[in-house]
Chain A
Amino acid sequence: MNLEPTTDYGTPKRVSEMLVTLEIDGVEVCVAEGTSVMAAAVDAGVRVPKLCATDSLEAFGSCRLCLVEIEGRKGYPASCTTTVAPGMKVRTQTPKLADLRRGVMELYISDHPLDCLTCSANGNCELQDMAGVVGLREVRYGYEGENHLKAEKDNSNPYFSFDPSKCIVCSRCVRACEETQGTFALTIDGRGFASMVAASENQPFMESECVSCGACVQACPTATLMEKSVIDMGQADHSVTTTCAYCGVGCSFRAEMKGSEVVRMVPNKEGKANRGHSCVKGRFAFGYATHPDRIKTPMIRNKITDPWREVSWDEAINHAASEFRRIQAKYGRGSVGGITSSRCTNEETYLIQKLVRAAFGNNNVDTCARVCHSPTGYGLKTTLGESAGTQDFDSVMKSDVIMVIGANPTDGHPVFASRMKRRLREGAKLIIADPRTIDMVRTPHVEASYHLQLRPGTNVALINSIAHVIVTEGLVKDGFVAARCDVKEFAKWRAFISESRNSPEEMEKITGVPADRVRGAARLYATGGNAAIYYGLGVTEHSQGSTMVMGIANIAMATGNIGHEGVGVNPLRGQNNVQGSCDMGSFPHELPGYRHVSDDKTRAQFEQVWGVKLDNEPGLRIPNMFDASIDGSFKGLYIQGEDIAQSDPDTQHVTHALEGLECMVVQDIFLNETAKFAHVFLPGSSFLEKNGTFTNAERRISRVRKVMPPLAGKEDWEVTAALSNALGYPMDYKHPSEIMDEIAALTPTFTGVSYDKIDELESIQWPCNDEAPEGTPVMHVEEFVRGKGRFVVTEYIPTDERTTGKYPLILTTGRILSQYNVGAQTRRTANNMWHDEDRLEIHPHDAEQRGVKDDDWVGVISRAGDTVMRAKITERMQPGVVYTTFHFPESGANVITTDNSDWATNCPEYKVTAVQVSLVSQPSTWQKHFREFTETQLDLLPQHETSKA
């Protein structure tokens, strides 16, 4: 149950060109064919009483409260399960119906506690509302008979409680778990009066298959499933619509507030990215925003061995500015730079790149997309002409074949995974290419037709063998290619890909994937109808990441699977604003809108508006900054919202580089791992404390709205503007909307974007301009952005990272549902109850060879370094491959990863590291040093006792 300000139609909206006219309580109404009588009644201004119906779920017809009379029909049909018919005459209010409804309510209430005044749902309870609506005045059955009033409460979940004594067995939670989330963790256990909602095999929620997405809580019409925050704080008094700060799905939420405190986050039904759904992170894991570890006062120090000194904002910012100017005077204009973060807003990232280009006077700006989706930018720009995914999320509901490559949507992008699973349950076919047996390979009511379980590092060999089948078996859509693509480049590619060395049979030796499976998958992709590709960091974070992205674009173009609904090439972005941070000119070679810094015309436009001369040479990328620091030519760095000391590969190389800086300014909400090497700390604001926009994986620009004052007194964009002013380059914005206006004025794909437009449309997918005033859900419809689609020859080049006798296993890394990237946010929430340490997943065969048992401490050593973590033995891994998450800094997952990178973009090769695994009895040397260093750094904080707690 939630404070839903929008209308609940009771049943899902139907879309049809066929309209049906009927009469409800004397009011004529015209609705789409297939609409329920209940939903049609809403259009007629009539609210039919209901309990088991809500418009996020298909009609169920169990509560018997929504009965109506229909002229010419016998009995009292349920309005939720009865669809409209032409000329139908419906009556929703008659004495008989009133009598029936009161009778039903009496039965419900006879087994429901009468504790409304002390109930957490008081004032927001559909059962209470319906009792009022039907005019319940007595319960003739009394409370002495058999009932469930003493049923035991399940408080095992940290975020919500399950109180079966309040359950009316409407099955909304069960159906939400099935239809909305697709996990099927809940059921109705028992029959008749003994029927009860049960999690998995009648287990406590935390021990069940429940993924804590909250769909059941949202669907519950009573206080049976209720957020503990509501139980503690009471009902909210207002709500503000904003956008989640976790993954690239970019879910819209209503922050339900009591004053300036968040009571709960409720997924927004009107949100076009999430359509009213959520996951455990977005819905529940927002407590980090007010965690005691938050640093709320600016701090400075001369050396990283000095104690931090709390100072005023002015002193901190002036100190940072003078240090940057001192460094530039001593080492040159190019000796300083900045790093933006995908966790920050578009406006913030825009300002940082502007500060670097206009105030620092160089192009040394980069963003964390460097280490995740920079190959997407390069690969899609080269082939299609735009550095972005081609579809909206709704498009998946028109797909007949879904190919997931190097992504784990149920963990990384859970809300979109639920949409995907819904489409798969409707009959779409699934192809998965992944070294691991991810959940989607086989999950309730979903089973992949093909799981191409390739060896890590062989993506390009696999995509080439798929392309080979498409070309040599005559599956190319010749008409599409001839009309839409560069035929000369296509001919070159066709000749290359047709060579027998690219056949599945030859490539099987490299990929390990049986040729017949590759052939089957290729045929399905090419001939199965609308085929869409969704991919993640398992594609990009390789030495051939960019090549693989282009290989994906090649097969999409060859089969005509681009330019309309249901198809496309869709990068699943890791963080909330990966797309946006790239759009905003965060890369050292590109100005906002992906225009190269060497382009005189573009630069002139920016120079005119910004009033400065801009450098026409590309700047340093993040890994280049590290190398330049070690080399001595790079000495100052401004980092906002990014934790490179934890997230970037080859940790010891990174920290060595950070130690070489004379001034590092970190702007963050916590003293993250990077900040422990900083000289200036500028306290940041969480997504709840500022205004701005995020752009999600489908190019959707959504508003981030301030729901509480910034804990440190400033929104992040204000801090950057102050720093720029102190550097002598004026920034005089009164509100982030003015920054967006400037972005729109300078970026052709954003010319139609403004805060007013976003408010009007809820969100906007760029390009939004004169040609597409309300945005662009699907790109490349008539022609590719670059004109003709460009096929690129994608030769498979094996990575330099090879297994040997010394390093016989391949380590690959990834995320888990409950934690988020470096974990700075989720580790400071109860999500730790699901995952409180990074584990090394290892196949039973590899474990047995090494005498490793579950939970044993194992050393993991690579050419870059070594660390120690506990083992988890699982057949999800293939023999020879081990896996870990990277959410906990003390795990040192990136101590092991190497400095190998994508040839085009320097995106690190996180997914392939040759390692050895062995039993150990103590932490690694690095871990011991890490602990000592961390303790020292916390001792240097002014309030170190609090931070240690």
Chain B
Amino acid sequence: MNIERLVRMANDIGNFFKAEPDHAVAVDSVALHLKRFWDPRMRKEIVAYVDGGGAELMDLVREAVLKLR
């Protein structure tokens, strides 16, 4: 799937949860959102993207994606 689009969608999710003052909660919230709403093939691709460096992802999202492995 179009990885640029997936990155944009993931960062949009991160932008919402970054308002959470507790960083750990924010990371878990992003990870849970991806787990609950993204089809496995989308998650697989974003995990692969992070494995490749994940340059365009927000730090918060990168952390969250690592939890999906």
Binds B, one of A303-311, A510-518, A570-578, A612-620: A612-620
A598 at the interface (CB under 8 A from B): yes
Contacts of B16 in A (CB 8 A): 544, 547, 795, 797, 903-904
B36 and A596: CB pair below 8 A? yes
List residues of B (1-41) whose CB comes within 8 Å of A's CBs: 1-2, 5, 8-9, 12-13, 15-16, 18-21, 33, 35-41
A633 and B15: CB pair below 8 A? no
Q: Considering only CB atoms, which chain A residue lies closest to B39 in the complex?
A: A620
A904 and B13: CB pair below 8 A? yes
- How far apart sit A305 and B42, CA to CA, in the bound complex (Å)? 32
Contacts of A598 in B (CB 8 A): 35-36
The contact of A589 among B8, B15, B36, by CB within 8 Å, is B36
A496 and B19: CB pair below 8 A? yes
- Report if A628-B41 is in contact (Cβ < 8 Å); known contacts: A596-B36, A598-B36, A899-B5: yes
Q: How many A-B residue pairs have CB under 8 A?
A: 64
Q: Considering only CB atoms, which chain A residue lies closest to B45 in the complex?
A: A631
Q: Does more than half of chain B's interface fall in helix, strand or loop, or is it mixed? A: helix
Contacts of A832 in B (CB 8 A): none
The contact of A903 among B2, B12, B41, B42, by CB within 8 Å, is B12
The number of chain A residues with a CB under 8 A from chain B is: 33
Q: How far is the CB of B5 from chain A (nearest CB, A)?
A: 6
Q: Mark A890-916, 1 if CB is under 8 A from B, else 0.
A: 000000000101011110000000000
A719 at the interface (CB under 8 A from B): no
B33 and A618: CB pair below 8 A? no
Of B1, B2, B35, B42, the most chain A CB neighbours within 10 A belong to B1
- How far apart sit A547 and B37, CA to CA, in the bound complex (Å)? 16
Q: How far is the CB of B14 from chain A (nearest CB, A)?
A: 9
Q: How far is the CB of B36 from chain A (nearest CB, A)?
A: 6
B39 and A903: CB pair below 8 A? no
Q: Considering only CB atoms, which chain B residue lies closest to A799 in the complex?
A: B12
- How far apart sit A547 and B17, CA to CA, in the bound complex (Å)? 11
A487 at the interface (CB under 8 A from B): no
A588 at the interface (CB under 8 A from B): yes
Contacts of A312 in B (CB 8 A): none
Q: Considering only CB atoms, which chain A residue lies closest to B6 in the complex?
A: A627
Contacts of A879 in B (CB 8 A): none
A633 and B9: CB pair below 8 A? no
A795 and B19: CB pair below 8 A? yes
The contact of A334 among B8, B20, B41, by CB within 8 Å, is B41
A630 at the interface (CB under 8 A from B): yes
Q: Mark A626-652, 1 if CB is under 8 A from B, else 0.
A: 011011010000000000000000000
A492 at the interface (CB under 8 A from B): yes
B12 and A618: CB pair below 8 A? no
B13 and A617: CB pair below 8 A? no
The contact of B2 among A496, A547, A596, A631, by CB within 8 Å, is A631
- Report if A627-B36 is in contact (Cβ < 8 Å); known contacts: A543-B12, A793-B19: no
Q: Mark B28-65, 1 if CB is under 8 A from A, else 0.
A: 00000101111111100000000000000000000000
B5 and A627: CB pair below 8 A? yes
The contact of A906 among B9, B15, B36, by CB within 8 Å, is B9
- Report if A618-B38 is in contact (Cβ < 8 Å); known contacts: A793-B19, A795-B19, A797-B16: yes
List residues of A (491-549) whose CB comes within 8 Å of B's CBs: 492, 496, 543-544, 547
Q: Considering only CB atoms, which chain A residue lies closest to B33 in the complex?
A: A904
Contacts of A619 in B (CB 8 A): 39
Contacts of A904 in B (CB 8 A): 13, 16, 33, 37
Q: Mark A320-353, 1 if CB is under 8 A from B, else 0.
A: 0000000000000010000000000000000000
Q: What are the 6 closest A-B residue pairs judged by CB atoms, nearest first?
A: A903-B12, A795-B19, A793-B19, A631-B1, A620-B39, A627-B1
Contacts beyond the supplied A621-B37, A624-B1, A628-B41: 13 A-B pairs with Cβ under 8 Å: A334-B41, A547-B16, A598-B36, A617-B40, A618-B39, A624-B42, A631-B1, A795-B16, A899-B5, A901-B12, A903-B13, A904-B13, A905-B37
